[in-house]
Amino acid sequence: MADQFPAGFVWGVSTASYQIEGAWDADGKGENIWDRFSHTPGKIANGDTGDVACDHYHRYQEDVQLMQRLGVQAYRFSTSWARIQPSGRGKPNPGGIDFYNRLIDSLLAHNIEPWLCLYHWDLPQALQDAGSGWANRDTALRFGEYAELLGRQFGDRVKRWVLLNEPNVFTVFGYLYGRMAPGVTDFSEFMRASHHTNLAQGLGAQALRATVSDPLIGNALNLSPVHPRSDSQADLEAAERFDQFWNGWYLEPLFNGRYPELADPVLETMAVQPGDLDLIKGCIDWLGVNFYSRTVISYDPDVPLLQGSNNPPPDTPKMALGLEIYPQGLEEILVQVKERYNNPPIYITENGMGRHEQAVPGQVIEDSARIKFLHANLHHLHNALERGVDMRGYFVWSLLDNFEWDSGYKERFGLVSVDYATGARTPKRSFEWYQSVIEHNALETSA
């Protein structure tokens, strides 16, 4: 018995520039907010930084070969904005352009389609300094110019574009809770950032359509079904608010050209201007969903607007990062999106499991827990397909173990383990498992 996937279903892996590239100041690259944040004592577990990371900048050929061995048809990576435009504006930096040209050409030579994500959290520091980054409307305009530049440089070979990675995550954790770069804790900056990231998607898509022929533009939203922690009225209402924020804040503007009701009292704080929502509505061709877990919400009066916070039950299984293992949530959120938004084409742009593993040179990591996790998620994805969701493909997070933001290198998500002392890469058991799923375009249901 097998869950068979449709012909043409795309199998891939995802990574992000800051998490793997290293070479943080090489060949004209400018400083970005994650360089600054990770160089600030106390911000990252163990004092880790992305200065070297997986050194993918120098070892990309080996990584492309690994992907070829894995059999993926597509690779989603992100470009580092400060490598392309060191201060976030103006002329391109030849060193950065060269690097991505080499990477794209190498992918194509190995029959792997490049899926270029324009922004995976590493804003040029100069744009942060000029007016608090995404809290400043100008950053969205700069993003439009950056998109145009990328379109001109790479659009002859790149057709798949991913606008912003998880704007809900980087605005909440970067501007409200301050746990991530730029480390701000200010409600009104958070609200402005949330609108300006929506606006940036509209402007970015417009610029790509003007510079690339036949682009296929999507994004990567972290979506999650939201459940109340108890059946108390307070928890039920908090869960409803949280759903409007977590899932609705980006989906509603994209598909319906409006913010959810929850935004009504704060539209002015968000600095929404006339015409913005028209620009955002319908700007994508397909929806990218990053899925990790469900969200379980308790009433929490201390969180402005949302008045709720994530509070998963203590006794359910968790992966590293404290995320609940809840694969059925993938099916639930996909069916929800289908029903609410008229069944758009969807790719899972991230799904994966973090673990604490020890890289031992020459030894294959037996990550059966990861295999089980991915298997269960794919089974629920297949159920969603059977329930009529227009699923087009799936990307594992991640190809390599990498720099996991404020958790540093402790959390490992790779199908390939990285020995950070030497940079040596060793495929884990899950690599072989994924290889076989791709080869058969099917999931053995008995595994």
Instruction: Return the residue of 38, 106, 171, 222 that touches ligand FCB, per CB under 6 A.
Output: 222
Minimum CB separation from ligand FCB for residue 405, in Å? 6
> Toward ligand FCB, which CB reaches closer, 93 or 219?
219
Dihedral sign of CA atoms 186, 139, 200, 149 in order: negative
Instruction: Return the residue of 290, 298, 351, 417 that touches ligand FCB, per CB under 6 A.
Output: 290
| DSSP state, residue 142 | H
> Toward ligand FCB, which CB reaches closer, 53 or 277?
53
Q: Which residues are catalytic?
A: 166, 350
Residue 252 in contact with ligand FCB, rule: CB under 6 A: no
- Per-residue x/- track, 225-244, ligand FCB (CB under 6 A): --------------------
Minimum CB separation from ligand FCB for residue 54, in Å? 13
- Per-residue x/- track, 401-430, ligand FCB (CB under 6 A): ---xx-------x-----------------
> Toward ligand FCB, which CB reaches closer, 20 or 84?
20
> Toward ligand FCB, which CB reaches closer, 93 or 351?
351
| DSSP state, residue 310 | E
Residue 350 in contact with ligand FCB, rule: CB under 6 A: yes
Residue 166 in contact with ligand FCB, rule: CB under 6 A: yes
Q: How far apart are CA 79 and CA 436, in angstroms?
A: 30
Residue 16 in contact with ligand FCB, rule: CB under 6 A: yes
> Toward ligand FCB, which CB reaches closer, 243 or 401?
401
Minimum CB separation from ligand FCB for residue 409, in Å? 12
At 253, the amino acid letter reads: P
Q: Which residues contact 50 (CB under 8 A, 6 or more apart)?
A: 18, 19, 21, 22, 24, 34, 35, 38, 403
> Toward ligand FCB, which CB reaches closer, 63 or 404?
404
User: Are the beta carbons of 196 and 253 closer than 8 angstroms?
Assistant: no
User: Are the beta carbons of 373 and 367 closer than 8 angstroms?
Assistant: no
Interaction residues for ligand FCB, span 299-338 (CB under 6 A): none
> Toward ligand FCB, which CB reaches closer, 165 or 197?
165
Count interface residues toward ligand FCB (CB under 6 A).
Answer: 12
C-beta atoms surrounding 261 within 10 Å = 12
Q: Specify the pairing of strand 216-222 against strand 74-78.
A: unpaired
Minimum CB separation from ligand FCB for residue 165, in Å? 5
| Binding piece for ligand FCB, criterion CB under 6 A, among 80-88, 139-147, 164-172, 312-320 | 164-172
Q: Is the peptide bond before 230 cis (omega within 30 degrees of 0)?
A: no
> Toward ligand FCB, which CB reaches closer, 260 or 352?
352
From 305, 235, 238, select the one nearest 265 (Cα to Cα). 305
Residue 32 in contact with ligand FCB, rule: CB under 6 A: no
Residue 17 in contact with ligand FCB, rule: CB under 6 A: no
Minimum CB separation from ligand FCB for residue 75, in Å? 15
Minimum CB separation from ligand FCB for residue 179, in Å? 12
**Structure-derived torsion over alpha carbons of residues 76, 170, 263, 224, reported in degrees to the nearest 10:** 60
From 440, 407, 423, select the one nearest 23 (Cα to Cα). 423
Minimum CB separation from ligand FCB for residue 234, in Å? 28
Minimum CB separation from ligand FCB for residue 278, in Å? 28
Instruction: Return the residue of 85, 136, 165, 293 that touches ligand FCB, per CB under 6 A.
Output: 165
Q: Specify the pairing of strand 416-419 against strand 424-427.
A: antiparallel
Interaction residues for ligand FCB, span 365-404 (CB under 6 A): 397, 404
Buried-state track 302-312, b at ≥16 Cβ within 10 A, e below 16: ebebbbbbbbb
Q: Which residues contact 265 (CB under 8 A, 6 or more apart)?
A: none
From 14, 411, 410, 408, select the one nearest 179 (Cα to Cα). 408
Residue 24 in contact with ligand FCB, rule: CB under 6 A: no
Cα–chain-centroid distance for residue 301?
A: 29
Minimum CB separation from ligand FCB for residue 323, in Å? 9
Q: Is the peptide bond before 225 cis (omega within 30 degrees of 0)?
A: no
| Binding piece for ligand FCB, criterion CB under 6 A, among 66-74, 165-173, 186-194, 375-383 | 165-173
DSSP string spanning 244-261?
Answer: HHHTHHHHHHHHHSS--G
The β-bridge partners of 348 are 289, 394
Residues that bind ligand FCB in the complex, under the rule CB under 6 A = 16, 19, 165-166, 169, 222, 290, 350, 397, 404-405, 413
